[in-house]
A and B are shown apart, each in its own frame.
Chain A
Amino acid sequence: MMLTFLIAFFFSMISIAFIPILRKTLHPLEILSCGLLMASLEQFAYAVLTVNLQLVKASENPFEFFALKLEQVILAPIIILFGLFVLFSDSRRPLSKAIALAGTVFALWGVQYLYDLSGTIQFVKWSWGYDWIKDAALLAISIGFLALFRKFLRWQEVSHDPVPSDSL
């Protein structure tokens, strides 16, 4: 039980350490706002699935609960941001972008699968297919949001990132 939390904590710290790489493609305010939105939506989706619809049953152990929180607040948003990082990159080809998007959904699904294996969550009337659809929907929302937010930043004449991307 404690081990699940420690593993989630370890991977969360590693994913946070990789955030500066995102600045090669994304503006820091885009990273911040998209991360905030995704963390909110992940938690909202989880709360609706467990409390209101009772399609997923979560462990009542506090350590496992915090392990799940780390996934919703840190791991999943950063995985999605890495998908966006590739998608919004100018230098990538369409095929590699498509592969990156599929990889993002697969990574999100993989994390859920590991939580299921460890017994942190149990599907009651929920299936892996639905989980794929949920992850793909979150990714689609993040893409739409980032495209709109980028226009919003341009409209507001927000200054460019003062850190040159080639220094990262």
Chain B
Amino acid sequence: MILYPPIHFDANEWFILVISVASWGIFLLLPNRLSYVTLFIIWLFNGLLAFTADFSLGVKPFDLYDFGDRPEFEWFDVILYLFTYPPTPFFMLHFYSKWRPTGWRFVGYILLFSLATTGLEGISTYGFHVFTYKGWKLWYSGPIYLIIFSLNFLVYHFVQRYVPERKNNSPFKRRYGSAVFESHYLNGEGGNKSLRRTKT
């Protein structure tokens, strides 16, 4: 079979579904700060990271953990990669673009998210058996999340070179339309300098 269904539809499947729906729901309720292009690329990037990590560490020759009910890949693993993992970096980048932490605050910000994500992984592993460790330790995940979130920042800043933040999601633009937005913000009547610089 290409992808297996779960053996029993129990705690781990419910955990994946509830966390995915809840985190996407909360994220969609937040005001839009990231462009659709940024969100799409961050989503793809985290999908790749999940595929790479789990298809490297979770298979032979390492085989450090299993996910789901069996050692083979299941439908719920794909849901985990595409819908459960990505909201965490979305939240991280959303609040980063809002608060703009720098220096030690930035380091603390990444550490906080890494700790929170490690905690969530601990709950999913020991409370709901989403993962079964076979040599992996929970504390190994902390530095891995630190690297993952740092890479997310690199990708975010790379994308922002081409996609100005809030360009398509400004309340002004939504209310008055694109033409008015551009004449107001890009032709010198107001708005921030970064948008004008990008246009020229």
Contact B198 A159 (CB under 8 A): yes
Residues of B within 8 A of A (CB): 1-4, 35-37, 40-41, 44-45, 47-48, 51-52, 55-56, 59-62, 71-73, 155, 158-159, 161-164, 167-168, 178, 198-199
Mind listing 17 A-B residue pairs with CB under 8 Å?
A27-B162, A28-B158, A29-B37, A32-B155, A36-B44, A36-B45, A37-B44, A39-B52, A40-B51, A43-B52, A51-B72, A52-B3, A52-B73, A61-B61, A156-B35, A156-B37, A158-B163
- Bound complex: CA A39 to CA B44 (Å): 10
**Interface size (A, Cβ < 8 Å)?**
33
Interface of A (DSSP majority class): helix
Knowing that A52-B72, A152-B40 touch, tell me 11 more A-B residue pairs with CB under 8 angstroms. Answer: A27-B162, A29-B162, A32-B155, A32-B159, A33-B44, A36-B47, A43-B52, A52-B1, A53-B1, A58-B60, A159-B163
Contact B163 A48 (CB under 8 A): no
Residues of A within 8 A of B (CB): 27-29, 32-33, 36-37, 39-40, 43-44, 46-48, 50-53, 58, 60-62, 65, 69, 73, 152-153, 156-159, 161-162
Contact B158 A32 (CB under 8 A): yes
CB contacts (< 8 Å) of A28 on chain B: these are 158, 162
Please pick, from A36, A65, A69, A152, the residue contacting B48 in the complex, using a CB distance under 8 A: A36
Contact B2 A53 (CB under 8 A): yes
CB distance from B16 to the nearest CB of A (A): 18
* Chain A residue at minimal CB-CB distance from B198: A159
